[in-house]
Amino acid sequence: MNEAIEFTEEQGMLLETAADFCRNHSPIDGVRERLDATEIDSATWKEISELGWLGINVPAEYGGLELGLASVVPVIESMGRNLMASPYSGTIVAIEALVSSGSDAQKLAWLPNIVEGLIATMALSEPDGSWALDQIESQGVVADDKISLSGTKCFVTDADCTGLIVASVLVDGEVKLVLLEGSNIPVESIVREVVIDQTRRSFQLNLNGIEVPLSQLMPLCDLKAIELASMLMICAEISGGLVGVLHAIVEYLNTRKAFDRYIGSYQSLKHPAVDILLQLEGMRSHLYHAATEHANQNTKAAEIALRIAKAHGSEAFAFAGDRAVQFHGGFGFTFECDAQLYLRRALWCQYQFGDEKHQRQLLAPLLLDEVNQ
């Protein structure tokens, strides 16, 4: 199996720019101020759009930079490091859904607007909690030139301010993707969810009674492409989060004293910190290997690399967040301790698109097939 890791000049430039941008626009005090925010930071979103980041994975014919999803990874990684809350990740995956499954007319109608700053998101999960994207109950009934929708979608991020939602529904027993224009969704159909990560603006979307033109039904439904794109974004966020939480740990270990010694001098705290560093280095290797395989359109190799990265990262970030809380002692269990913000982010990421056990179950047949070839 090819273990190549490529890091392009464009990725390096984006990482440098994004690291500086996110550090300045998402300091930890700013993160706290926006916990459970009722609306997005529109000024920051405008700057993200002006930087051209919304066009990174958009084909050039629709006004994008056509650099591919791998070039989005450094941006998401920087956002994860600084716990930045924005609709960026959801918009990027919606772009991938349009590119992989949309018609030419749908791409032309939506992609240029997204590049200019239109917010988009995905509606894939349902109340039963299944991680299999093809196991859904939401329905779409075609009548004349319209589709009548029913069902409920969960974890629809930033649904209250989005211009476009890409939702999965069953049409004649087959999973399809449908485009929902934000302005046509009744306000009462969108309900805020209480989730572990308070930096997330997550909503439940009630599809009952919503009708869309038949032209909004996407001709293809590449769930695999959407799943891999989503996991790549989550893994990038996990990698960045590990950097952020390790920084918080080291800063505290070199500040807090016990018995006239910095607590970082005690081996019982040194060793877990080193373990987190090693897990971080492993996670970044898995992440950029997965990004490389995805960029080279090696679908199976990309899936293997992403499932390994997600399994490794889910455990590593949760462990690091837990240690960060424990190292802060009693203060770590209070709302005022910043360490718990990383733990909350870790737990959110851990269970999006499957935890480590789920990923390993899916990895087994993929790796056995690889060995037997």
What is the CB neighbour count within 10 angstroms for residue 265? 12
pLDDT level of residue 130 (50, 70, 90 thresholds) = very high
> What three-state secondary structure class fits 51?
coil
Is residue 373 scored above 80 in pLDDT?
no
In the DSSP assignment, the letter for residue 65 is -
Compute the average pLDDT of residues 299-327.
96
Quickly list H helices, 116-253.
223-253
What local confidence, expressed as pLDDT, does residue 262 receive?
82
Q: What is the pLDDT of residue 264?
A: 82
User: What does the pLDDT look like over 228-274, one tens digit per residue?
Assistant: 999 999 999 999 999 999 999 999 999 988 888 888 888 888 999 99
The per-residue pLDDT for range 190-239, each reduced to its tens digit, is 999 999 999 999 999 999 999 999 999 999 999 999 999 999 999 999 99
**2 — pLDDT class (breaks 50, 70, 90):** low
Q: Average pLDDT, stretch 43-49?
A: 97
pLDDT at residue 1 greater than cutoff 60: no
pLDDT for the residue numbered 261: 87
Burial environment of residue 50 by CB neighbours within 10 A (0 to 12, 13 to 18, 19 or more) = exposed
Domain boundary assignment for the chain:
223-372
For the cut 70, the answer to whether the pLDDT of residue 371 exceeds it is no
The enclosing H or E element of 149 equals strand 146-150
Q: For residue 330, which phi and psi values (nearest 5 degrees)?
A: -60, -35
CB 220 within 8 A of CB 296: no
- Tell me whether strands 139-143 and 146-150 are parallel, antiparallel or unpaired: antiparallel
Question: How many Cβ atoms sit within 10 Å of the Cβ of residue 344?
Answer: 19
Using pLDDT thresholds of 50, 70 and 90, give the confidence band for residue 6: confident
Say yes or no to pLDDT of 127 above 70.
Answer: yes
The pLDDT of residue 266 is 85
DSSP code for 40: -
Reported as a single tens digit per residue, the pLDDT across 157-177 is 999 999 999 999 999 999 999
Q: Is 133 helix (H, G, I), strand (E, B) or coil?
A: coil
Q: What top-level class would CATH report for the domain 223-372?
A: mainly alpha
